């Protein structure tokens, strides 16, 4: 750092103390952020559980000395979040739009961003922390990219519990200046000024303390090409971001728009699981084989190795043996086995009991994590026994569809705005006031026997109960327009008067072998 940079920092700190330079201890200290700071303390607590970053165990040893050791945890927060994210959304999910041009453009953006893979990974943290945000942006090559923000990086502004229309994204970076670690926080505000003016404001803050946002500094300190404020008049109709909220009410702050994570209502039972598992591991460690022997048996003489002097007490045990411990006692002390039994069955039963409680509190079916002693199950048994998990998944899917609708809208809004691109050319034509008509086809293979579902629904088509178009949409993930196109192509490929036509077979694909045994 140059002398002038150091001097500017000194004046900036002095100005912050006098109120001349904006300074923040926490992001929630900003007047524009309308959220209780306790909400983010709750999120940080959930984050520590998800990272398995928990306090050490304090105990007193046999001499009454206070000692500590790391906790041997069973990270059920990570386990449950990963399990739930994998059954909610996976790479087989298909998203489509009725408009062919918009659908082609949107799918290209999704593929370029590896969205399906990225969303499943970020959804895992959303389940653990209670929320997730994403926003599209345009990179230096005029490609639309998707930036992700965890629950602790997203702050609502003016909002209600049903909708978040304004927010601030926080991203942090570090630099070494004068052999000191400096923390920079970039705040990106998305706000409305009236119904038609959308404003994006960027602010940069600098601090030498990890847990402090710090004093505001010029953007060019780290981002020389970034504008302090950009206004869009009458161009942007919907927010340029999307927020995913976990289903269910926020029972800790009824006025908060933020969701609740796995930990928030299960902390006590997670603690019970961790402490029981830690005690079990500790007992295994302390219950290793130990044999007490008189101290003289382990006290060799002063001569070892290749010395010519004869050993006073030659070694009686293998040098790698660690089960023998010397004890002082009477002259007639004998070799004594001190090994104690490990209460494996009691600990296993206790952990299984707490895991069943955890399954109940987090919406998983019984036996998802606990061991029920049963063998391999049939697909029908898995479907029936996973009914609770299926209901939980259905609640999440409603929020996922809402999130995808918001994100696709934001992507198309960016693509329709020439100001985002260096050549000032829009990438598509989109009117946010029109119905988006987004179709999302989720992969239900974990819960549903697809072959049986397809056969059953084909029978409904044959009976005239289910439309052929609905059959194609449900079983092949097509949009209404794509299903209509399929039907027209199949119809055109059939020779006139052929006995193999769709009218006779009632098979939307025109194949009379489909569904046959």
Q: What is the 3-state secondary structure (H, E, C) of 407-421?
A: HHHHHHHHHCCHHHC
> What gap in Å lies between CA 423 and CA 406, rounded to an integer?
26
pLDDT at 452: 67
Token reading at 316: 């009686």
Quickly tell me which residue has 């022997």 as its tokens: 293
CA separation for the pair 108, 339 (Å, rounded): 65
Q: How high is the pLDDT of residue 434? A: 84
Distance, CA of 160 to CA of 255 (rounded, Å): 7
Residues of 409-424 as b/e, b for ≥16 C-beta within 10 angstroms? bbbbbbbbbeebbeee
Residue 108 CB: number of other CB atoms within 10 A?
Answer: 12
Mean per-residue pLDDT, 199-224: 94
Q: What would the mean pLDDT of 119-126 be, rounded to a whole number?
A: 94
For residue 135, pLDDT over 90 is answered with yes
Q: How confident is the model at residue 85 (pLDDT cuts 50, 70, 90)?
A: very high
Supply the mean pLDDT for the chain.
83
What average pLDDT score do residues 316-326 get?
66
What is the reported pLDDT for 312? 54
Task: Provide φ and ψ at 268, rounded to 5°.
Answer: -65, -40
Query: Minimal CA–CA distance to 462: which of 454, 450, 452?
Result: 454
Better-scored residue on pLDDT, 289 or 404: 404
Residue with tokens 């229309």: 165
Percent of the chain with pLDDT over 90: 50
CB within 8 A of 212, min separation 6: which ones?
24, 25, 183
CB atoms within 10 A of CB 292: 16
Lowest-confidence region among 42-46, 50-54, 313-317, 409-413: 313-317
Helix axes 100-112, 387-415, angle to 10 degrees: 110
Q: Is the pLDDT of residue 415 over 80?
A: yes
Q: Using CA atoms of 243, 247, 248, 249 in order, give the dihedral in degrees to the nearest 10.
A: 0
- The DSSP symbol for 237 reads -
Q: Is it the case that residue 295 has pLDDT exceeding 90? A: no
Higher-confidence position of 81 and 372: 81
* Assigned token pair, 9: 């920092």
pLDDT higher at 398 or 507: 398
Q: Kindly tell me if the per-residue pLDDT of 307 is higher than 80.
A: no
Alpha helices in 189-343 (DSSP H): 267-286
Place of tokens 């990219």: 145
Q: What pTM, to 2 d.p., does this model score?
A: 0.76
pLDDT-wise least confident of 134-148, 219-233, 282-296, 375-389: 375-389
Residue 304, token pair as written in the block: 């070892």
Mean pLDDT over 137-144 rounds to 93
Phi, psi at 125, each rounded to 5°: -70, -30
């Amino acid at each position: 750092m140059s002398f002038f940079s150091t001097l500017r920092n000194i004046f900036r700190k002095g100005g912050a103390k006098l109120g001349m330079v904006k300074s923040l201890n926490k992001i929630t200290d900003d007047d524009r952020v309308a959220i209780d700071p306790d909400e983010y303390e709750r999120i940080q607590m959930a984050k520590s559980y998800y990272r398995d970053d928990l306090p050490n165990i304090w105990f007193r040893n046999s001499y009454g000395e206070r000692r500590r050791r790391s906790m041997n945890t069973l990270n059920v927060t990570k386990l449950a979040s990963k399990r739930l994210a994998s059954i909610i959304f996976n790479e087989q999910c298909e998203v489509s739009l009725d408009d062919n041009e918009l659908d082609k453009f949107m799918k290209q953006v999704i593929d370029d961003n590896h969205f399906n893979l990225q969303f499943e990974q970020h959804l895992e943290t959303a389940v653990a922390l209670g929320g997730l945000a994403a926003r599209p942006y345009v990179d230096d090559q005029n490609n639309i990219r998707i930036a992700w923000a965890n629950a602790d990086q997203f702050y609502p502004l003016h909002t209600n519990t049903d909708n978040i229309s304004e927010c601030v994204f926080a991203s942090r970076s570090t630099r070494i200046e004068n052999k000191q670690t400096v923390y920079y926080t970039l705040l990106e505000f998305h706000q409305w000024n009236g119904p038609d003016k959308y404003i994006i404001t960027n602010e940069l803050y600098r601090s030498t303390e990890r847990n402090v946002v710090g004093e505001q500094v010029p953007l060019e300190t780290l981002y020389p090409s970034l504008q302090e404020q950009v206004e869009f008049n009458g161009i942007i109709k919907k927010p340029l971001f999307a927020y995913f909220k976990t289903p269910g009410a926020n029972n800790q702050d009824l006025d908060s728009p933020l969701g609740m994570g796995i930990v928030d209502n299960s902390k006590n039972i997670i603690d019970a699981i961790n402490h029981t598992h830690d005690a079990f591991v500790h007992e295994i460690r302390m219950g290793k084989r130990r044999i007490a022997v008189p101290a003289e048996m382990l006290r060799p003489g002063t001569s070892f190795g290749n010395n010519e002097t004869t050993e006073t007490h030659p070694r009686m045990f293998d040098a790698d043996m660690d089960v023998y411990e010397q004890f002082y006692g009477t002259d007639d002390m004998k070799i004594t086995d001190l090994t104690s039994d490990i209460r494996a069955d009691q600990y296993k039963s206790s952990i299984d009991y707490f895991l069943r409680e955890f399954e109940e509190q987090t919406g998983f079916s019984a036996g998802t994590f606990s061991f029920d002693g049963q063998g391999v199950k049939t697909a029908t048994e898995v479907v029936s026994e996973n009914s609770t998990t299926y209901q939980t998944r259905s609640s999440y899917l409603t929020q996922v569809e809402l999130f995808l609708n918001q994100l696709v809208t934001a992507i198309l809004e960016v693509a329709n705005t020439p100001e985002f691109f260096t050549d000032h050319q829009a990438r598509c034509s989109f009117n946010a006031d029109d119905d988006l008509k987004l179709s999302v086809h989720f992969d239900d293979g974990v819960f549903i026997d697809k072959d049986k579902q397809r056969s059953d629904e084909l029978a409904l088509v044959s009976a005239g109960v289910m439309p052929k178009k609905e059959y194609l949409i449900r079983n092949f993930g097509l949009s209404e327009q794509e299903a209509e196109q399929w039907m027209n192509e199949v119809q055109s490929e059939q020779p006139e008067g052929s006995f193999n036509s769709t009218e006779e077979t009632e098979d939307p694909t025109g194949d009379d072998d489909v569904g046959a045994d």
